[in-house]
Structure 1
Amino acid sequence: MATPPDDLPLAELVEELLATGGPLPIVAAGDPVLRRGTERFEGQLDSALLARFVEAMRVTMHAAPGVGLAAPQVGVPLRIAVIEDPAPVPDEVRLARGRVPQPFRVLVNPSYDGVGAVRAAFFEGCLSVPGWQAVVERFDRVRLTAEDEHGRSVDEVFSGWPARIVQHETDHLDGTLYLDRAELRSLSSNQAMAERWTQPTPREAAASLGFRLPE
């Protein structure tokens, strides 16, 4: 699909994307839309168009598949993201990573702050950087403030893997990719991940690849 003009009004841009039907094309790293940051959502899309856009983001996230998707990843520079994680992982992974199921949620104008001093480091991937994963150290707990798709206030503390998802997706809205925060010595192809680094934590990868983990 051709890249829409940068000066196209956001409502027209979204309508053009939705006209294609099915999952939306995901923008890959290197496209400036992933680096420019986003506009706060202040009614640029009417309620019906917002609902259609949110549903298209949900379909796209599921099809990828992923556990989160930010509007810039489909070429729309609005401060909107969606998250959902059924967390189909073994118990040892769930316990090590704090990965618990998360229902589908829409985050409008989100921001986060770290809660406490505990940091956690795990491999992450990104739909906009296909084929690669790297270890990222993040806050283990965050306080998220946002609105939902109906304009209701959200003020909630997330911990473990849900906190990681919130940070990853909110970072997208500020023009930040996970690689900006990653330990680059950990960068691994999906093939290497499947063959070498399937453990619940990246401790073995750190020892073998020569990078530091938080204490």
Structure 2
Amino acid sequence: MSVPPYKHFTQIGDPVLRRRAEEVSGDKVNSPEIKETIDCMVHVLRHYDCVGVAAPQIGVPLRIIVMEFHEGKKNQFPAEIYAERKMSTLSLAVFINPELEILNDKQHKHPEGCMSVRGYSAQVERHDRVRVKGIGMMGTPSELELEGWSARIAQHEMDHLNGIIYVDRMVVSSFACISWPQINEAKGETAIWFNK
């Protein structure tokens, strides 16, 4: 395995996003290559101020996810939306070869976006409570029970490991460019940026 090829998000259409990611073999878990991949994922997560990254999103077809919903993100949402979507802080969590278990049948439908479908969002229904188990790295737990928005993040990232993108699960009629007001205001003379 070589170093991660990208420090940006692969975009829908890249074949790496549509294949099932491979498990990290036991003899590679503590290798310098896996550490470098995880370091890169955490860097990308924080550089783009997002909440989750799966290894395929930086071009690495391995079963690794990182998630984080830091305290500062609370200020990015109106209080009523933060409460309605059951958002809460989530400390950095890193999982190699994660497995996800649904803990109840309750589901919520909320707008969801993806850094690999830059500039768009849609309503997606997700389970309310899940458990993620795997090999924890960087001092993070190897098992987490998650609820609300954090459970949504985990389900979204796990989908990436199986070649699934949120557009496969979305309410089709809700798919929208999140920048449409700015595009109209700029008379079409604007762009969706893929870097930061």
Taking structure 1 as the reference length, the TM-score comes to 0.75
**Alignment-derived partner of residue 138 in structure 1:** 126
SS at match of 1:182: coil
Per-residue CA distance 1:34-85 (angstroms, 9 max, x = gap): 0111111114464333222211111111222311010001111000011111
Superposition deviation, residue 147 in structure 1: 1.5
Please tell me whether residue 33 in structure 1 is matched to residue 16 in structure 2.
yes
Q: How many residues align?
A: 178
CA RMSD for the aligned pairs?
A: 2.3
Output aligned runs, 1:15-54, within 5 Å. Answer: 17=5, 24-42=7-25, 43-44=27-28, 46-54=30-38
Per-residue CA distance 1:75-122 (angstroms, 9 max, x = gap): 110000111112323332221111001111111111212211210010
Superposition deviation, residue 149 in structure 1: 2.0
CA–CA separation in structure 1 for the residues paired with 2:141 and 2:81: 32
SS at match of 2:110: strand
CA–CA separation in structure 1 for the residues paired with 2:30 and 2:104: 38
**Alignment-derived partner of residue 190 in structure 2:** none
**Alignment-derived partner of residue 63 in structure 1:** 47
Please tell me whether residue 115 in structure 1 is matched to residue 115 in structure 2.
no
Superposition deviation, residue 146 in structure 1: 1.5
Q: 5+ unaligned residues in a row in structure 1: which ranges?
A: 1-10, 18-22, 196-215
**Alignment-derived partner of residue 63 in structure 2:** 79
Amino acid at match of 1:50: I
**Alignment-derived partner of residue 200 in structure 1:** none
Per-residue CA distance 1:150-180 (angstroms, 9 max, x = gap): 6987233210000000000011001100111
Call closer, same or farther: CA 1:45–1:145 in 2, change over 3 Å.
closer
SS at match of 1:57: helix
CA–CA separation in structure 2 for the residues paired with 1:84 and 1:113: 19
Identity %: 35
**Alignment-derived partner of residue 106 in structure 1:** 94
CA–CA separation in structure 2 for the residues paired with 1:80 and 1:35: 15
SS at match of 1:69: strand
Match among 151, 160, 170 for residue 163 of structure 1: 151
Higher relative contact order structure (alpha carbons within 8 Å, sequence separation ≥ 6): 2
Per-residue CA distance 1:4-23 (angstroms, 9 max, x = gap): xxxxxxx22x26x3xxxxx7
Superposition deviation, residue 132 in structure 1: 0.5
Call closer, same or farther: CA 1:194–1:167 in 2, change over 3 Å.
farther
